């Protein structure tokens, strides 16, 4: 009997709601931040990833799906999204546009990994890239966008880990110190790390093997080696994050599995599997475009795995309908006079970009309220003869259980002011 290939999955009809909601939220947040969508092919010339991701990385050494096509070209199914976006940036002369060019994408990614929960051979990423500025305000914006995206889904307990891995001026000194440190700990290293020690010592910090992890504690910290420009870039970034009240943990041993990073790197860890599998990650890559044949162009970006997001939503009991609870109203009538108003009230709400519905048939007020409760609407508007005569409505906040009589205009303002973080996703 045929089965889906190991490390892949069918997305069945019953799972589609979660997928659609996550993709729609990605689109919504990118629209808010004015990042524009780009789609690139799912395969590229192999050379793009050799040069882009780096020959010493696990991705290039062990995980790429590479084949020769019928014309003899070396082709690779994309193992990540950033190098293809940079290729497109160069190919389409996007340096002629106002910088930074801000792009986003979603789609399948292929890595030949040992499959386990949350680790797949085909997974899907949502990613953003801000290309063409070295200003730390864009590192902060990318993190802000990521944070807002997760919050809008109602995910709780995420932590942001932050580090700077310097630049080609300051990193060599650090690598020398790291090499020196590890030369004293060779016997504690796993076979992979023993091999990588001289070629790509930064990778050693990232190894999940227990004895390698123990050895990391005590290794020199890159933050102590940053040159002045990298140091002040990092300080500025932290200042922006503080101002946005985005909490972070400094992790001086955070490096990422791709070679292109310079300066800022970050990862977002979910509540349960701390230190295990990041839900998202990214950083700055100021040399990548030049390495791929473009002119020197600094850039920063982030990507997140949709399967891992959905896994975390499910772990936290967040249903897809909970995610939409934001600007959503159930209009309820108290009597015949009220019933004649519900269509117009719903239309006014909809004109104001607020999702609105009501029942049909002759339901009692109690039964309508029950329906409103199970619809997941955080707001209910009640209207009856009394309100009609005063040109008012009753606005009920379902999460708080409070209500007030007010004008429809005022109700719309209140509903519009509600922030994603206030959404009652924990019901």
Q: For binding to ligand HAM (CB under 6 A), which residues are involved? A: 80-82, 111, 113, 118-120, 123, 125, 127, 129, 257-258, 278-283, 285, 301-305, 307-308
- HSE, CB side, 13 Å, CA atoms: give it for residue 423: 25
Residue 59, Cβ neighbours under 10 Å: how many?
Answer: 19
- Cβ distance to ligand HAM smaller for residue 34 or 116: 116
Q: How far apart are CA 30 and CA 411, in angstroms?
A: 27
Closest listed residue to residue 253, CA positions, set 193, 204, 194, 187:
204
Q: How far apart are CA 261 and CA 278, in angstroms?
A: 17
- Cβ distance to ligand HAM smaller for residue 197 or 308: 308
The tokens for 174 are 């650090």
Instruction: Please state the closest distance from residue 182 (CB atom) to ligand HAM, in A.
Output: 24
Q: How far apart are CA 60 and CA 82, in angstroms?
A: 14
347 close to 378: Cβ distance less than 8 angstroms: no
Angle at 20 (CA atoms; ends 17, 23), nearest 5 degrees: 145
Classify residue 98 by its DSSP letter.
S
Quote the longest CA-to-CA distance of the chain: 84
- Cβ distance to ligand HAM smaller for residue 132 or 378: 132
- Cβ distance to ligand HAM smaller for residue 62 or 340: 62
- Cβ distance to ligand HAM smaller for residue 132 or 280: 280
Helix count and strand count (H, E) for the chain: 17, 16
Question: Could you write out the DSSP letters of every residue in 250-299?
Answer: E-TT---SSTT-EEEEEEEE-STTTTT--SEEEEE-TTHHHHTTS----E
Instruction: Please state the closest distance from residue 287 (CB atom) to ligand HAM, in A.
Output: 13
Instruction: Please state the closest distance from residue 173 (CB atom) to ligand HAM, in A.
Output: 25
Instruction: Please state the closest distance from residue 178 (CB atom) to ligand HAM, in A.
Output: 21
Q: How far apart are CA 299 and CA 285, in angstroms?
A: 5
Instruction: Please state the closest distance from residue 409 (CB atom) to ligand HAM, in A.
Output: 43
- Cβ distance to ligand HAM smaller for residue 258 or 329: 258
Instruction: Please state the closest distance from residue 127 (CB atom) to ligand HAM, in A.
Output: 5
Q: How far apart are CA 107 and CA 127, in angstroms?
A: 9
- Cβ distance to ligand HAM smaller for residue 312 or 377: 312
Instruction: Please state the closest distance from residue 288 (CB atom) to ligand HAM, in A.
Output: 9
Instruction: Please state the closest distance from residue 201 (CB atom) to ligand HAM, in A.
Output: 20
The tokens for 66 are 């590479």
Q: How far apart are CA 109 and CA 305, in angstroms?
A: 9
Cis peptide before 229 (omega within 30 of 0): no
Instruction: Please state the closest distance from residue 63 (CB atom) to ligand HAM, in A.
Output: 8
- Cβ distance to ligand HAM smaller for residue 152 or 277: 277
- Cβ distance to ligand HAM smaller for residue 270 or 376: 270
């Amino acid at each position: 009997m045929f089965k889906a290939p190991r490390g892949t999955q069918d997305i069945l009809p019953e799972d589609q709601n979660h997928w659609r909601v996550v993709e729609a939220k990605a689109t919504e947040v990118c629209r808010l931040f004015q990042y524009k969508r780009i789609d690139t092919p799912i395969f590229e010339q192999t050379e793009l990833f050799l040069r882009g991701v780096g020959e010493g990385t696990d991705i290039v050494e062990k995980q790429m799906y590479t084949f020769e096509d019928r014309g003899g070209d070396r082709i690779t199914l994309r193992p990540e999204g950033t190098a293809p976006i940079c290729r497109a940036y160069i190919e389409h002369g996007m340096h002629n546009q106002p910088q930074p060019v801000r792009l986003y994408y979603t789609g399948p990614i292929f890595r030949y990994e040992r499959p386990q929960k949350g680790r797949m051979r085909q997974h899907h990423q949502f990613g953003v890239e801000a290309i063409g500025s070295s200003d730390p305000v864009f590192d902060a914006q990318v993190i802000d966008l990521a944070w807002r995206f997760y919050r809008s889904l109602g995910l709780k307990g995420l932590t942001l880990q932050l580090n700077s891995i310097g630049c080609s001026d300051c990193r060599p000194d650090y690598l020398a110190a790291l090499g020196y440190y590890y030369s004293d700990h060779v016997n504690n290293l796993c076979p992979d790390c023993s091999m990588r020690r001289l070629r790509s010592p930064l990778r050693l910090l990232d190894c999940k093997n227990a004895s390698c992890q123990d050895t990391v504690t005590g290794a020199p910290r890159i933050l102590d080696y940053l040159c002045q420009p990298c140091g002040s870039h990092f300080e500025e970034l932290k200042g922006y994050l503080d101002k946005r009240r985005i909490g972070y943990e400094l992790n001086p041993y955070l490096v990422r599995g791709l070679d292109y990073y310079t300066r800022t790197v970050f990862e977002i860890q979910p509540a349960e599997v701390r230190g295990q599998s990041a839900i998202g990650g990214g950083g700055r890559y100021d040399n990548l475009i030049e390495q791929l044949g473009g002119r020197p162009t600094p850039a920063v970006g982030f990507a997140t795995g949709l399967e891992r997001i959905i896994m975390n939503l499910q772990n936290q009991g967040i249903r897809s309908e909970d995610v939409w609870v934001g600007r959503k109203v159930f209009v309820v009538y108290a009597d015949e006079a009220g019933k004649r108003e519900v269509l117009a009230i719903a239309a006014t709400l909809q004109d104001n970009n607020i999702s609105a519905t009501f029942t049909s048939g002759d339901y009692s007020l109690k039964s309508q309220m029950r329906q409103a409760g199970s619809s997941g609407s955080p707001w209910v508007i009640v209207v009856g003869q009394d309100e009609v005569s005063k040109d008012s409505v009753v606005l009920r906040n379902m999460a708080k259980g409070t209500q007030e009589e007010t004008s429809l205009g005022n109700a719309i303002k209140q509903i519009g002011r509600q922030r994603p973080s206030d959404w009652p996703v924990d019901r």
